[in-house]
Structure 1
């Protein structure tokens, strides 16, 4: 891979990791934290967001992440009618049909932006998810008399990991750079008129990388009709961190390795990795 495409390839992983983390873990999250049925979902752009902070300097401009010569010069469609353009771009890429088949094919960019923004928080609305939920149900097992997540859950996430590994990185980066104004517009509509979406991605990556590496499956307890972590420190993790844990140790390690690489490419600084305390 060229230096140019490598420098921009972080967005390939971020887009697909958001799908893997959100879709791959959401069903387990809902099993552990069920909610009463909600009325018809609002558009992702209408999802509540914290009050926008004062304008701050852009830390990671997209033009520095990648500037591919092959990026399309075709005019962009309006955000609210961009779905067909997004799907067409994805389906033209190697492996893109696998990714496109997992997407909820409406308000695609707005859903991706809203999900990425929500991952470091403690709540994620079902209405903003950009991908279809995995098949099957959350499965537990008994270990030494205690309840833990079953390793069988990772089988449900295989299509998402396949998409992560199979998409043409350079082509997707080229498209993302070309389409970045739509991502930025969606982020502003989300409630950040002075924010910069690329900078938010770094915050999200750092939060996911801070997910603890567990030496053994975490103990669960049933509270009413759902499961919760016995360890309060795990139960207090962010949505993205909990979902990353529920992708299983092997997938979590693979996703973290990708995130570390793309973060260093994006910022030009290698992370000094330490082993988080195991619970």
Structure 2
């Protein structure tokens, strides 16, 4: 935990994509496939039927987009989209620090890779993130002589929380729906030729919304180079849920409120607050 990827980066990503919102995985797969020759792949049987594509659960067309906020401008190619995407996200971030937090290359691919990784349990790599990690060192306090997650960590996420608060959900969803072909292309290039990115985004949002909201200091223990949660139930959470806990209870509630609104706009149906 101490040296693991920080939540601030994916907050900017997930809040910005779903409005919420690989490079590493994306480029690695791209390089690997580029080195393969057609002859090395096993030939498909002439009688074998191609696998059926999974049914789309959440078509982007169902997103609630206010006509006045929808764009009709032509999209750039994925390889040439960095400048336009960064500019659009900076505008959506209003007066927040989003522009200074975003990386400048492979932005859509990084967002897609980050969203895809959040519901998993194998962590995030810094070089695949679409935004810079929070400044400052990971802080551990002591309660009763035992290490706990330091409350001073929560202040490190202030710039990212300003993004969460500043982004207008309607405008973000409208932009995302317009730019969706770029996200879909990047998702397929990430290794899901028949996958549908918006479905994966909803899975990531639902996973974050299901994160627990424990009370009191969270006990941690050092394991090799990292800190991990002492409670096995917390340590077994997904990557996104564990990172969400690191933002602090108050920030977690604010993030979930924004995600709940965004999810409702994306699927065309509001999700009730069950807290």
Task: Verify same fold: TM over 0.5.
Answer: yes
Q: For 1:69 and 1:42, how far apart are their aligned partners in 2?
A: 33
Greater mean deviation of Cα atoms: 227-236 or 187-196: 227-236
Matched residue, 1:112:
111
Q: Secondary structure at the match of 1:132?
A: coil
Change (3 A) 1:131 1:13: closer
Between the aligned partners of 1:15 and 1:125, the Cα distance in structure 2 is 21
- Residue correspondence of structure 1 range 1-279 to structure 2 within 5 A: 14-15=17-18, 17-18=20-21, 43-46=24-27, 54-70=52-68, 71-93=70-92, 95=94, 98-123=97-122, 124-267=124-267, 268=269, 270-271=271-272, 273=274
What per-residue deviation string (whole Å, max 9, x for no partner) do you get for residues 4-62 of structure 1? xxxxxxx85655555xxxxxxxxxxxxxxxxxxxxxx96442356xxxx8511111111
1:148 aligned counterpart, secondary structure: strand
Work out whether residues 44 and 110 of structure 1, in 8 Å CA contact, stay in contact via their aligned partners in 2: no
Any idea what the Cα deviations from partners look like across 1:46-105, whole Å, max 9, x if unmatched? 356xxxx85111111111113442422222111011011112323444616631211111
Q: Is 1:141–1:148's contact at 8 Å kept on the other side of the alignment?
A: yes
3-state DSSP of counterpart to 1:163: helix
Gap change, CA 1:166 and 1:106, over 3 Å in 2:
same
**Quick check: 1:99–1:167 contact (8 Å CA) kept in 2?**
no
Q: TM-score, normalised by structure 2?
A: 0.78
The answer to whether the 8 Å contact 2:20/2:258 transfers is no
Does structure 1 retain, via aligned residues, the 8 Å contact 2:219–2:231?
yes
Contact 1:91 1:100 in 2 (8 A): yes
**TM-score for the superposition, normalised by structure 1:** 0.77
Take 1:120 and 1:135, find their aligned partners in 2: how far apart are those partners? 25
Matched residues in 2 for 1:230 and 1:66: separation?
Answer: 42
Pair 12,216 (structure 1): closer, same or farther in 2 beyond 3 Å:
closer
Give the aligned length.
239
| Comparing 259-268 and 196-205, the one that deviates more | 259-268
Aligned-partner SS, 1:57: coil
Following the alignment from structure 1 to structure 2, what is the Cα–Cα distance between the partners of residues 166 and 269?
21
State the 1:202 CA deviation: 1.3
Cα distance 1:12–1:147, how it changes in 2: closer, same or farther (>3 A)?
A: closer
In the TM superposition, residue 134 of structure 1 has moved relative to its aligned partner by 0.7
